[in-house]
Amino acid sequence: MTTYDELLQRVLGDDTSGKPVREPATGELIGYAPLHSADDLESAISRADRAQPGWAALGDAARANALRRAADLVDGSSEALVELLAREQGKPLNGPNARFEVGAVSTWLRVTADLQLDPQVVVEDENLVAELVYEPLGVVAAIGPWNWPLMIGIWQIAPSLRMGNTVIVKPSGYTPLSVLALISILNEALPADVLIGISAGRDVGALLAAHRRIAKIMFTGSTATGRSIIESSAGNLARLTLELGGNDAGIVLPDTDPEAIVGDLFWGAFINTGQTCAALKRLYVHESQYENVIDALVRFSTSVPLGPSLDETSLLGPVQNQAQFEIVSGLVEDARARGARIVTGGSPAKELGDLFYPVTLVADVTDGDPIVDEEQFGPVLPIIKYTEVDEAVRNANRLNVGLGASVWSSDLAAASEVAGKLKAGSVWINRHGTLHPLAPFGGVKGSGYGLEFGVDGLKAVAAPKVIHRPRA
């Protein structure tokens, strides 16, 4: 079993010339992340390109078994990975946080290994049989975020490898160490140069997105960066899967019992301290239940401890970085200045550290206010009162985002009817943001395009080919 110190040493070596990485919770130095150059990137792509035909030639069963071995290795080093993730990203150990995320990595590896994508006969008549098959694309660029660096990383890595591609991974500059550590573990189960990590700044990232030997780019991050990747990739027409910004809406219908939904409602909004792409970020509540829902959320929030990432009792942690902290606090201050009601929270928890912000519920806001229209990506939830359900649906659909949405009701038929009207890639009823490795996931509008997970996720990292043959 790998210890934390051994795992960190694998990633850091003895080099102290790289980028310093500090704990969001304490400001303590964890270590210096490597800073790879444009030449390093060129070498990595060349190596991955050379390794790809041999990896594909191993066959589907061998690649699936390699993913299963990789999952076992992740489990064997899980506590070391958990500690590094908690220290670097800031999320606490327990609850839907660091241990949950590392557990999801091995789960996704195993589920991806077990998926079946068989040839499909699409035409069969007296003269012809046409069969649809899927082949590797080549080298895939996996560009990940800082909020769920390991879990989202494996969403990109596992299907790409399963389909016979090789992968260049560029983690976020905020969370490079945990991703590089995961890659080092996965590589114990993989041939050389099938999976390579590049830790670098945006300039090298831009070169990766524009490189002519990259066949596919998978990116999770902001809509603005997604647009830049689209432009950069145009030169070689690389295929794209983009999971971009979200500002997910939830609608609480008038028949809902607040006490029955409050736990799921809270975690739908505040999982990972609100730093989740498909978290609930705008809550529309019918006027008959408005104060009841607010009161239930306030009471529930008092039972969820905010504290240091390595404290076993913490369930909410710091905002991951200063830039995001300023966005969160700025939106709250703007709402306060506009006359919003700050129900709970609303000021930094400086007694815990520089980047701690408490659960903040902001009431009496309206569509058009920045705190409603701009994705806060932190522990803040604006709550908007509505009168007619159609009004809430219109406002939920109003923005140019559509990653997720939710409907909350005691009447499943009524909730399903509303769910059908919401424009989002995923719509949940009486929950929000819960993902399943077999259920396709992706956004619409400005939240990106392309599907991940399940068989559709395998197809997204492969090239379709139709073989036409005469009927025997």
- How many whole angstroms separate alpha carbon 229 and alpha carbon 214? 12
- How many whole angstroms separate alpha carbon 271 and alpha carbon 278? 10
- How many whole angstroms separate alpha carbon 80 and alpha carbon 10? 12
Q: Residue 462 is encoded by which pair of tokens? A: 């492969």
Residue (of 378, 433, 377, 376) closest to 404 by Cα position: 433
Q: Residue 69 is encoded by which pair of tokens? A: 């071995």
- How many whole angstroms separate alpha carbon 412 and alpha carbon 451? 27
Helix (H, G, I), strand (E, B) or coil at 347: coil
Q: In sequence order, which residues have a C-beta less than 8 Å from that of residue 312 and are 6 or more positions away?
A: 93, 94
Asked whether the CA dihedral 74, 75, 80, 84 is positive or negative, the reply is positive
Q: Residue 240 is encoded by which pair of tokens? A: 């794209």
Q: Residue 154 is encoded by which pair of tokens? A: 């494996």
Run of H or E residues at 106: helix 98-114
Q: Which residues of 312-348 are buried (b: 16+ CB within 10 A; e: fewer)?
A: eebbbbbbbbeebbebbbebbeebeeeebebbbbbeb
Residue (of 263, 265, 272, 260) closest to 249 by Cα position: 265
Amino acid letter for position 197: G
Tell me the H-state helices in 338-388.
Answer: 370-373
**Cα 342 → chain centroid:** 29
**Active-site annotation, residues:** 243, 277
- How many whole angstroms separate alpha carbon 176 and alpha carbon 197? 9
